[in-house]
Structure 1
């Protein structure tokens, strides 16, 4: 089959989804990183949206993480979607829910003031409370089989490794199934390998540079 190249950014959670899926499927690929603040011309030619990930299949570029995941499901072994059509559709819906939570996380760490920060924290808490009610988490999202939903939520929880260093924001409090799921995901080899060893330092510097309410909390925690 054609060679695969995953065009990546070091902090992009959507790239991590694709990297996890590729690892779970045992698919060989090359990984190339780009600076989204200074996009090279070759990347602009591949990605009309100017975003990562991009999966190059031979000379053809596929962009948008959900599309990449579906392509891998259709063309590579070791399926990560349920076989049942209804459950498969539900999982696709939950992947979209995971994307909505990533948008909420962006709003949380970018909030300019305490009031906005509190509102975004509450919205995240409500999202995760809903997820706790649906979650099986024994050990994976829907039971014993690792799925694309697991691949999607692993990068979500990785943000909270940084947030937990800053303070206790209570977003994930009182959610025992979710806590177990988060712990299982953090130990999964494909999840660990989805980022570079300096990921946490890169994320920390990125958050510090936001000049947001969270940045102020980070500075307080370091004082």
Structure 2
């Protein structure tokens, strides 16, 4: 297999999804970090959307984290998807929902007014409650086997863990099943190693620079 390269920004949760998948499946991937605020010209030339993640493999450019994860999964059996078509569709739907939760979480983290903080805090809590209602299995989303849904949600839980110290309440108070799932994922080696060693400090500094209401 030709070398695979993943182009990344060191705080991006979507990139982290793909890193988790590669680590969990022991796929050798070279990670190249760029500054997304000042991306190099070569990156803009190859990224159709000007966003990370971008994967280069087999002479092709692949973008969008869910698509990258599908590719990584297909080239390294056994699959991290369920066996049946309907369960695969179910899992893909919840991966998309996870993407919307990443966005809501970002807006909560970077909200610079109390009004916006309260708005996106309510949005995050509502979406966590939606996940709580669908969770039926342990320890992972589908039961005993780690899946691409787990890879998609782990970055959310890592950021919520860091945001928790700035919130005056337990964000998982009404969602104990989600909390258990989060703890399971955060304990995985593939999740812990999916970010740079200084991630916590980088994330906190990012919040401060963004004028986050939470860290004022």
Residue in 1 that maps onto 2:60: 60
**Partner of residue 184, structure 2:** 184
Secondary structure of the residue aligned to 1:121 is helix
Residue in structure 2 matched with residue 88 of structure 1 by the alignment: 88
Match of 1:194 in 2: 194
Secondary structure in 1 matching 2:174 = coil
Partner of 1:74: 74
Listed one character per residue, the Cα deviations across residues 145-174 of structure 1 (whole Å, up to 9, x for unaligned) are 100000000000111122112232443212
Contact in 1 for aligned 2:164/2:171 (Cα 8 Å): no
TM-score by length of structure 2 reads 0.95
Asked if the contact 1:25–1:79 (Cα under 8 Å) also holds between the matched residues in 2, the reply is no
Q: Residue 122 of structure 1 contacts residue 171 of structure 1 at CA under 8 Å; is this kept in 2?
A: no
Which residue number corresponds to residue 210 of structure 1?
Answer: 210
Matches of 2:212 and 2:10 in 1, distance apart? 21
Residue in 1 that maps onto 2:103:
103
> Separation in 2 of the partners of 1:213 and 1:111?
6
Structure 1, unaligned runs of 5 or more: none
- Show structure 1 runs of 4+ deviating over 6 A: none
**Deviation string for 1:55-98 (max 9, x for gaps)?**
11043211111111121222222311101110100000000000
Q: Over aligned residue pairs, what C-alpha RMSD do you find? A: 1.3
Q: Give the corresponding residue for 2:173.
A: 173
Tell me the residue number matched to 2:158: 158
Contact 1:132–1:175 under 8 Å retained in 2: yes
Q: Secondary structure at the match of 1:62?
A: strand
Runs of 5+ unmatched residues, structure 2 = none
- Name which of structure 1's ranges 112-121 and 141-150 shifts more when overlaid on structure 2: 112-121
More divergent stretch after superposition (135-144 vs 33-42): 135-144
- Aligned residue for 1:213, secondary structure, equals coil
- Indicate yes or no: 2:50 matched with 1:50: yes
Deviation at 1:134, TM superposition (A): 0.9
Q: Equivalent residue of 1:173, what SS?
A: coil
Whether the 8 Å contact between 2:164 and 2:170 is mirrored in structure 1 is no
Contact 1:7 1:33 in 2 (8 A): yes
Name the CA distance, whole Å, in 1 between partners of 2:137 and 2:190.
17
Offset from partner CA, 1:114-156 (integer Å, 9 cap, x none): 1221121111111111111111351111210100000000000
Q: Is the 8 A contact 2:98 2:153 kept in 1?
A: yes
Q: Residue in 1 aligned with 2:118?
A: 118
Structure 1 residue aligned with 2:147: 147
